Amino acid sequence: MNAGSAGKLSVVGKLSVVGLGPGEARFLTPQAQAALEAADALYGYIPYLDRVPARDGQTRHASDNREELARAGAALAHAASGAQVAMVSGGDPGVFAMAAAVIEAIEAGPDDWRELELEIVPGITAMLAVAAQAGAPLGHDFCAISLSDNLKPWELIERRLSLAAQAGFVMAFYNPVSKARPHQLDTAFDILRDELPASVPVIFGRAVGRADERLAVVPLSEARGDMADMATCIIVGSVETRIVERPGRPALVYTPRRSGGR
Amino acid sequence: MNAGSAGKLSVVGKLSVVGLGPGEARFLTPQAQAALEAADALYGYIPYLDRVPARDGQTRHASDNREELARAGAALAHAASGAQVAMVSGGDPGVFAMAAAVIEAIEAGPDDWRELELEIVPGITAMLAVAAQAGAPLGHDFCAISLSDNLKPWELIERRLSLAAQAGFVMAFYNPVSKARPHQLDTAFDILRDELPASVPVIFGRAVGRADERLAVVPLSEARGDMADMATCIIVGSVETRIVERPGRPALVYTPRRSGGR
C-alpha cells in the first residue's frame, strides 16, 4: 500500500504507531525494529525519540508529552502526503499511550486520514516488565488504571479503585503522580486500605527496563505517595498475593493461579 | 551466577521463564531470543517448543498443557543440577501462564530451588496483540480475566464480570471456552448484557500474530460463545468504546483516553 517515491496523487501513506517497550533495546521486537527502519519520518515525545538511533534520510519530529493530539495530527498529515511515518511510543502504544490519541485524531480529522494504512505495533507495557522483575504478581485476574485525572474525574478513579478491590483484582497503576497532583496517590492507598488487608504487597517499579531501574516492595499499610513519581508503575496485590523469601536474593511476589473465591 | 560446565557442587543453576509473544518471530524480543540461545535445556508445552528452532547440544522436554506444576518442577530440578534452563511460554509468562506456576513450585519445593537464579522474560501478551490489530480498545482503564474455572469457582468469575462492568473497565478474556465448559462464555455475555448497552463492541481475536489470524467485531447483543475457542482472546469494550469506519479498510475500535465518568 506504500510507495515512498511515486507521484503524490496516487500514493497512500502509512502511519505505524510503534511500541518501544519499557526502555532498553532488549525489549524492542523485530516488528517494531522493522517499522522504525522503514519510516521516512519519526514522530514522538523527545525521550522516546532519543532511544531510536538516527538514520540518514529519516527526519525526526520531537514534541512535548502534553501535545498528544497535535502530535498525532502532524504525523497523520505527514503520512497523508504519501510518506511512511512512525510514531514512537513507550511501552505498548495501546495502553495509556499514543494509539488511542492517533485514532481520536483520525475520527475528528479530514476524510483522507481514514484512507491511510494504520499499523499499531504492540510492545512490552510497563506493568509486564515490573511484574517480571518482581515475580508473577499478575498471575491471576488483574486490572490497569491510570491515576491521572487530566482526562477523567477523580471521583471515577476512586470508584474504580473500590470496585477493583471488591472484585479481588490485582491492580497496576499507570501515571501514579505528577507535580500537579502530589496527594492523590496517598488518597488512592487510603481507599485501598479500607478494602484490603494491611499485608497486601505493593510493588513500586521505577524505570524498570532501564539502567537505573529500582524495585521496592512494601505492605499496603506502609505504601506512601512519595514512593512514586511519573516514571513509576505500581502493582498492588490482591488478598491472595504471596511473598516467597529467598536466601541472598530478592523475594518473589506472585499471585497464585488458584483462587479460593475471596 | 551461572557456570555451564563447572563442577556440580559449586554451580548455581538458572531458570529463565521466557515469553514468546503471541506467535510469529516478529514478536520475540532480543531478551527472549538471548535466553533461548543460552539455554542448555528447553521445557514447555509442545506447540510453544515447536516455535523455537532446534540447536545442537540443547535438549528439549515437551509436556502436555495440563501438567503445569509438574513441568515447572522438572525444569527447576534440572536447573538445580547446575544447568541453564529455559521454560517457554506463549504470550507473556506472567499473564495466565507459566511464571506463577514456577513460583508456586519454588514455594512448595526443596530449599535449593530458592537459591536458583530465576529470570522472568516478559513478552507481548495476547490482549495487546489483539488490541493492536483492532485499533486501541485498551486505551482506557481495563481488566484481564481468565474465564477458566479450573482454578477458581465460576461464581467468582460471575461476580468479577459484574463489578468490572460497573467499574466501566474494558475487559480482556483469556481461556474463554473449552470442551469441558462450552456454555460458560454465553453465560458471561448474558451477565454483561444486563450491565452494558447492546451496542458495546466485542472483539474476537483468534490466533492473532499467526498466519491464520482472524479478527471479528460484533455488538454485545450479537456476541455468542461459539464465536470463540481456546485460541481466542476476547476484548469487550466499555460504554465509551467507539468504532471508526474506514472506506476499504477494517473499522478501528478504540476507547478514548478521555472519560465522562460513566
B8-124 has which fold? Cobalt-precorrin-4 Transmethylase; domain 1 (3.40.1010)
* All cell numbers assigned to B111: 530449599
Check CB contact of A4 with chain B, cutoff 8 Å: no
Predicted complex ipTM: 0.95
Check CB contact of B123 with chain A, cutoff 8 Å: yes
Query: How many Å lie between the alpha carbon of B31 and the closest alpha carbon of chain A?
Result: 5
Check CB contact of B66 with chain A, cutoff 8 Å: no
Tell me what pLDDT residue A141 has: 98
Chain A, residues 171-230, CB within 8 A of chain B, namely none
Nearest CA in chain B to A174: B141
Tell me what pLDDT residue A210 has: 86
Dihedral of CA A47/A52/A53/A58: which sign?
negative
Chain B, residues 27-46, CB within 8 A of chain A, namely 27-31, 34
**B19 forms bridges with which residues in the sheet?**
B89
Looking only at the bridges linking them, the beta strands covering B84-89 and B14-19 are: parallel
Tell me what pLDDT residue B261 has: 59
| Residues A22 and B31: beta-carbon distance below 8 Å | no
Tell me what pLDDT residue B178 has: 82
| Residues B17 and B31: beta-carbon distance below 8 Å | no
Looking only at the bridges linking them, the beta strands covering A59-63 and B84-89 are: unpaired
Tell me what pLDDT residue A7 has: 42
Inspect the interface and report whether the beta carbons of A95 and B138 lie closer than 8 Å.
Answer: yes
Separation of alpha carbons B180 and B183, rounded Å: 9
pLDDT tens profile A36-86:
999 999 999 999 999 999 999 999 999 887 788 999 999 999 999 999 999
Interface test with B, best of A31, A102, A243 (most B CBs within 10 A): A31
Kindly give the parts of chain A with pLDDT less than 70.
1-10, 261-262
With cell 462464555, the residue in question is B185
| Residues A11 and A82: beta-carbon distance below 8 Å | yes
Tell me what pLDDT residue A12 has: 86
Inspect the interface and report whether the beta carbons of A34 and B28 lie closer than 8 Å.
Answer: no
Direct distance between the N- and C-terminal alpha carbons of chain B, in angstroms, rounded to an integer: 52
Query: How many Å lie between the alpha carbon of B241 and the closest alpha carbon of chain A?
Result: 11
Tell me what pLDDT residue B10 has: 52
- Considering the four listed CATH numbers 3.40.50.300, 3.30.950.10, 3.90.950.10, 3.30.565.10, the one that applies to the domain covering A127-254 is 3.30.950.10
Query: How many Å lie between the alpha carbon of A141 and the closest alpha carbon of chain B?
Result: 5
Check CB contact of B120 with chain A, cutoff 8 Å: yes
With cell 509436556, the residue in question is B63
Inspect the interface and report whether the beta carbons of A104 and B254 lie closer than 8 Å.
Answer: yes
Interface test with A, best of B254, B255, B258, B262 (most A CBs within 10 A): B254
Nearest to B47 by CA among B11, B27, B23, B17: B23
CB-defined contacts A:B, below 8 A: 246
Q: What torsion, rounded to 10 degrees, do the Cα atoms B51, B52, B53, B59 define?
A: -130
Check CB contact of A25 with chain B, cutoff 8 Å: yes
Taking contacts as CB-CB distances below 8 angstroms, the residues of chain B near A135 are 99, 103, 120
Inspect the interface and report whether the beta carbons of B155 and A261 lie closer than 8 Å.
Answer: yes
Q: Where are chain B's structural domains?
A: 8-124, 127-254
Inspect the interface and report whether the beta carbons of B114 and A249 lie closer than 8 Å.
Answer: yes
What phi and psi, each to the nearest 5 degrees, are found at residue B236? -105, 125
The shares of helix, strand and coil residues in chain B, as percent rounded to the nearest 5, are 35, 25, 40
Taking contacts as CB-CB distances below 8 angstroms, the residues of chain B near A156 are 168, 259, 261
Direct distance between the N- and C-terminal alpha carbons of chain A, in angstroms, rounded to an integer: 52
Tell me what pLDDT residue B11 has: 75
Inspect the interface and report whether the beta carbons of A26 and B25 lie closer than 8 Å.
Answer: no
| A32 three-class SS | helix
Query: CA–CA distance from A251 to each of A227, A254, B91, B103 (Å)?
Result: 19, 10, 24, 11
Query: How many Å lie between the alpha carbon of A139 and the closest alpha carbon of chain B?
Result: 5
Residue B97 gets which letter from DSSP?
A: S
Tell me what pLDDT residue A11 has: 75
Q: Which of A132, A135, A166 sits opposite B121 (nearest CB)?
A: A132
Inspect the interface and report whether the beta carbons of B143 and A144 lie closer than 8 Å.
Answer: yes
Separation of alpha carbons B33 and B20, rounded Å: 9
Query: How many Å lie between the alpha carbon of B58 and the closest alpha carbon of chain A?
Result: 23
- Show pLDDT as tens, one digit a residue, over chain B (262 residues): 444 444 445 578 999 999 999 988 999 999 999 999 999 999 999 999 999 999 999 999 998 877 889 999 999 999 999 999 999 999 999 999 999 999 999 999 999 999 999 999 999 999 999 999 999 999 999 999 999 998 899 999 999 999 999 999 999 999 999 888 888 999 999 999 999 999 999 999 999 888 899 999 999 999 999 999 989 999 999 999 999 999 999 999 999 998 875 5
The shares of helix, strand and coil residues in chain A, as percent rounded to the nearest 5, are 35, 25, 40
